[in-house]
Amino acid sequence: MNQDNLQQQLTYSQQFSELNQLLEQSAALWQVRAFEVNALPWAEDFPQLAEAVWALADDELDGLDAEQSLLVKALSPALSHDLRALGQDWDLSLLTASIAKRTVFNDKTVTDKAGVAEQSLADNTAAQQGGLSFDDEAHFCAHIKGRKWQQITAFVQHLPQLNLPVLEWCAGKGHLGRLIAKARGAEVVSLEWQAPLCEAGQAFADKWQLSQTFICADAFAIGAEHAATNTSTTTSITTSITTVEAPAQHAAKANPLIARQQAVALHACGDLHVRLLTLAAEAGTQALAISPCCYHLIHASHYQSLSNLAQQSSLKLSRHDLQLPLQQSVIANPKQQALRHQEIAWRLGFDALQRECRQIDEYLPLPSLKQSQLSGSFTDFCLWAAETKAVNLAKNRDFEAWLEIGRQRQQLTRRIDLVAHLFRTVLEQWLILDRACFLQEQGYGVCVGEFCANSVTPRNSLILAQKMSV
């Protein structure tokens, strides 16, 4: 590894260490389950922060929560005051820092940087997006929601031009792979475990006469011990499988990742994108482009760190903790926000009621609601919840009183969550850099940046990696 690549590896390692230190220092403020407490759990140590958050009007909270810079500006002065009183020194500049802006790029890291760290979707013209003609784009996006299509085109534009066959991981109907095949002229294999999606995607690819073939397989059933080590092209691996097999039939197949290949994944959730990273490392896959999502969707009860650096951290992240980066409402419209607030108030109201009825002072989780249930009454909701959880309501049937208690508790939980949200970006960057450092440890040059604007999707991080020995 040359000096330039060593410098970037040190940069990512240093950034990770800085983020890790802040997260360890501030754990009391963000590793909190708001539904389980009846007061600000950190108020004694952070009295100025408590005063500042209670001074905010309810109708200010959503606006602050949607914009990280505004949130930090509103609360960091009080937090800084408390830290001085405690004699502690936290690097609060990390609350608004971006990995992309702090990244040191160099020509040896990836063949084509494509402006990953600085160029957002807003900078691109329609003609640049995906390399399609106007007529082609209209047909390609006809069955794709507008925001999803924006994400796909932005992702494709930021892919390095490597002239490699492509494996699309967790493909769904293969929208991403289809655009890559059309705009880049690449041979694409799309892996997806749901047979109907594979069939629909293959039909579309055949209609457009694209070099896109689907593998119907369970990503978790692919054994790492069978990782491919050959350097054959996509053609050789696609001819060795039956197109659109049932998941059970394909479960025993070998790792479809090979050395001479570029693997791509747009918003593969939790363990699915981690599985891709580990299988690609096993196979020595030449290039990867990954946008992670839904870090909490994991098999284990707690996060399993990937890099040696993260494994040395004292942080123990539960699935609940891993949801923190996803708690930013930049896309929800006012109606959706109102329904969400209504649902939380109802859940908190019933929670107070069930504690009284059961004489057990602990939170009782409820299953997900259908949106149609929110058009009913709080009384109906309580009766449904009581039946679902076998709670005897007995004489505690003054539902309006319990709803008011729920609304009061909601004022508390929203403020607990607001303070925790100061650290959501820090935690997500910690998770992104764990993946980046893992890839560096496996011999990859890595770039981390953003492929689209936050308003298109908050999950806009992009990890580009290329095997340095190739």
Half-sphere exposure of residue 315, counting CA atoms within 13 Å on the CB side?
Answer: 30
Average pLDDT, integer, range 228-244 = 34
β-strands 287-293, 262-269 pairing: parallel
Determine the pLDDT at residue 188: 97
What whole-number distance in Å separates Cα of residue 440 and Cα of residue 137? 36
Question: For residue 238, which of 219, 218, 253, 221 has the smallest C-alpha distance?
Answer: 253
% the chain with pLDDT above 90: 71
Determine the pLDDT at residue 327: 87
Determine the pLDDT at residue 105: 34
Please provide the DSSP assignment of 243-268 as one string: TT--HHHHTTPPP---SS-EEEEEEE
CB 140 within 8 A of CB 114: no
Question: For residue 245, which of 256, 236, 235 has the smallest C-alpha distance?
Answer: 256
Determine the pLDDT at residue 255: 84
What whole-number distance in Å separates Cα of residue 38 and Cα of residue 45? 17
What whole-number distance in Å separates Cα of residue 426 and Cα of residue 24? 11
Write the pLDDT tens digit of every residue in 251-278. Answer: 446 789 999 999 999 999 999 999 999 9
What whole-number distance in Å separates Cα of residue 450 and Cα of residue 436? 14
CB 55 within 8 A of CB 419: no
What whole-number distance in Å separates Cα of residue 379 and Cα of residue 450? 46
β-strands 188-192, 262-269 pairing: unpaired
- Residues with Cβ < 8 Å from 295, sequence gap 6 or more? 270, 303, 322, 323, 325, 326, 428, 431
What whole-number distance in Å separates Cα of residue 386 and Cα of residue 408? 21
DSSP-based three-state secondary structure for 32: coil
Q: What sections of 142-269 are H helices per DSSP?
A: 146-157, 175-184, 195-207, 234-238, 247-250
Higher pLDDT, 103 or 241: 103
Average pLDDT, integer, range 352-371 = 92
Of 215-219, 412-416, 454-458, the range with the lowest mean pLDDT is 454-458
What whole-number distance in Å separates Cα of residue 450 and Cα of residue 121? 9
Query: How many Å from the N-terminal Cα to the C-terminal Cα in the chain?
Result: 12
- Residues with Cβ < 8 Å from 89, sequence gap 6 or more? 83
What whole-number distance in Å separates Cα of residue 114 and Cα of residue 107? 11
Q: In what helix (H) or strand (E) does residue 58 lie, and over which residues does it extend?
A: helix 58-66
DSSP-based three-state secondary structure for 168: strand
Q: Could you tell me the CA-to-CA distances from 219 to 254, 261, 271, 427 in Å, in that order?
A: 11, 17, 10, 26
Which residue's structure tokens are 């650096």? Answer: 309
Higher pLDDT, 249 or 196: 196
Evaluate if residue 234 carries a pLDDT over 70: no
Write the pLDDT tens digit of every residue in 98-121. Answer: 876 544 333 334 434 333 333 332
CB 132 within 8 A of CB 163: no
Write the pLDDT tens digit of every residue in 200-211. Answer: 999 999 998 999
DSSP-based three-state secondary structure for 371: helix
Copy the structure tokens of residue 247: 């998941």
Please provide the DSSP assignment of 36-51 as one string: G-SS-TTTTT-HHHHH
Average pLDDT, integer, range 425-432 = 97
